[in-house]
């Protein structure tokens, strides 16, 4: 069953109004709006229909209406008027890239901060997926007789390091030879393929040249099995507390503990394809987020999808504005990062 234009208009105005005021919307206040020139009685009839169809709800028998999840979903899918960003927002976003920065993480971190400040919601930025970065150089630096640290540098300037124990039987020349072989063979290989490549191609080579091959290989290779967790950066974690829907400490608690549960969020956010995605309320499959919506966008370098930026807010979120902001920022991030790292 399709909605009439009038019903669409009313739905849209209800959602807009509720997003602004956080108060249930009544027929009388709707009838006073410029866009709508109908009597409150007519509007009541239409609202009854909209409710029957599941787009709006009452909080109690004689209250005004509030958008349902289905209502928000419809609003986001069909009624959203793409809002232009104002000049000031654009300027603020672009200030992220104002100074010339070389480190990925800094840019990402600053993006998270700015996003949360612009929206007053919580921002989450998933750092670049390190595992597709290509290895530039490996170094092994002995610390003392028992331990050494292995350092991996990628073509994007990202540095990973692992400390491992070094059997006393291994001597300096072995280490040097190993490092040389590794660099020779592994340079340019994406981190995620290191292990594979080593076992298939490099192991044999090492066996030929290195005395304590077995020891050497295993201690070092163990440190290669990196749990390359991309880093999550949060901004405005406490912003949600100022939203009226979180005046209840229990809700706040479950939401915040959820946010601090980083692994969970990581999965929630990573699993998006390119483009903007909106998940509303229970669509997030987590009771702590029943009153929340999550909007995600991805950024990339060239054609490789690198990471995700996201905004977590109440279901009563300024969808239009947030979507515009994310679109704008993700495009900018992509442009800047592509310029910076494409040509290696």
Partner DNA sequence: ATTAGCACTCGGTAACCATGAGTGCTAACA
Partner DNA sequence: TGTTAGCACTCATGGTTACCGAGTGCTAAT
| The entry of a second copy, DNA, none that residue 103 binds, CB within 5 to 8 Å by partner kind | a second copy
Does 165 contact a second copy by CB under 8 A? Answer: yes
Span near a second copy by CB under 8 A; candidates 90-98, 206-214, 235-243, 307-315: 235-243
Asked if 64 interacts with DNA (CB under 7 A), we say yes
In three-state secondary structure terms, 30 is helix
When asked if residue 159 is in the footprint of a second copy (CB under 8 A), the reply is: yes
- The tokens describing 193, both together, are 């393929």
Q: Rule CB under 8 A: which of 80-109 touch a second copy?
A: 100, 102-103
Report how far residue 246's alpha carbon sits from residue 337's, in angstroms, rounded to the nearest whole number: 37
* Cα torsion angle, 213, 215, 220, 224, sign: positive
d(CA 342, CA 74): 39
User: How far apart, in whole angstroms, are the C-alpha atoms of residue 302 and residue 45?
Assistant: 53
Q: Cβ closer to DNA: 51 or 283? A: 51
Alpha-carbon gap, residue 308 to 298, rounded angstroms: 4
Q: Please choose, out of 80-88, 250-258, 276-284, 290-298, the segment that lies near a second copy by the rule CB under 8 A.
A: 250-258
Number of residues that bind DNA (CB under 7 A): 25
157 in contact with a second copy (CB under 8 A): yes
Q: Give least dist CB 108 to a second copy, A.
A: 14
Cβ of residue 264: shortest distance to a second copy, in angstroms? Answer: 14
Determine the Cα–Cα distance for residues 139 and 141; give it in Å rounded to an integer.
6
Interface map 109-148 toward a second copy (x if CB under 8 A): ---------------------------xx-x-x-xx--x-
Q: Is 242 in the site for a second copy (CB under 8 A)?
A: yes
| Rounded Cα distance, 254 and 288, in Å | 6
Residues 192, 132 contacting (CB under 8 angstroms)? yes
Exactly one of 39, 63, 180, 238 binds a second copy (CB under 8 A); which one?
238
CB within 8 Å of 145: residues ≥ 6 apart: 166, 168
- Phi, psi dihedrals of residue 30, rounded to the nearest 5°: -65, -40
Q: What are the Cα distances from residue 23, in Å, to 1, 14, 27, 245?
A: 28, 10, 13, 11
Binding site for a second copy (CB under 8 A): 100, 102-103, 136-137, 139, 141, 143-144, 147, 149, 151, 153, 155-157, 159, 161, 163-165, 237-238, 241-242, 246-249, 252-253, 256-257, 260, 343-344
Binding site for DNA (CB under 7 A): 23-29, 38-42, 44-45, 47-48, 51, 58-65
């Amino acid at each position: 069953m399709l909605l009439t234009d009038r019903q669409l208009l009313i739905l849209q105005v209800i959602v807009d109004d509720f997003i602004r005021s956080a108060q249930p919307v009544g027929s009388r206040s709707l009838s006073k709006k410029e866009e709508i020139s109908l009597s409150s009685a007519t509007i009541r009839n239409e609202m009854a229909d909209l409710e029957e169809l599941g787009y709006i709800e009452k909080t109690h028998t004689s209250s005004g209406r509030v958008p349902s999840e289905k209502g928000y979903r419809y609003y986001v899918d069909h009624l959203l008027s793409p809002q232009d960003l104002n000049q000031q927002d654009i300027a603020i976003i672009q200030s992220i890239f104002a100074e010339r920065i070389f480190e990925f993480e800094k840019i990402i971190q600053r993006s998270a901060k700015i996003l949360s400040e612009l929206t007053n919601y919580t921002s989450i930025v998933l750092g670049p997926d390190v595992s597709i970065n290509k290895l530039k150089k490996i170094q092994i630096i002995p610390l003392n007789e028992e331990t050494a640290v292995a350092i991996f540098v990628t073509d994007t300037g990202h540095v990973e390091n692992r400390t491992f124990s070094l059997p006393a039987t291994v001597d300096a020349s072995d280490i040097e030879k190993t490092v040389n072989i590794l660099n020779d063979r592994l340079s340019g290989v994406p981190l995620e393929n290191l292990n594979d490549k080593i076992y298939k191609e490099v192991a044999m080579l090492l066996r030929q040249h290195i005395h304590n091959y077995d020891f050497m290989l295993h201690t070092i290779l163990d440190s290669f099995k990196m749990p390359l967790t991309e880093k999550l950066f949060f901004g405005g974690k406490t912003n949600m507390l100022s939203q009226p829907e979180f005046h209840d400490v229990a809700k706040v608690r479950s939401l915040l503990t959820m946010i601090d549960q980083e692994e969970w969020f990581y999965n929630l956010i990573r699993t998006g394809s390119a483009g903007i995605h909106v998940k509303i309320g229970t669509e997030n499959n987590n009771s702590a987020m029943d009153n929340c919506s999550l909007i995600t966008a991805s950024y990339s370098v060239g054609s490789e999808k690198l990471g995700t930026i996201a905004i977590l807010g109440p279901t009563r979120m300024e969808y239009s504005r947030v979507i515009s902001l994310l679109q704008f920022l993700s495009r900018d991030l992509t442009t800047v990062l592509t310029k910076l790292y494409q040509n290696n």
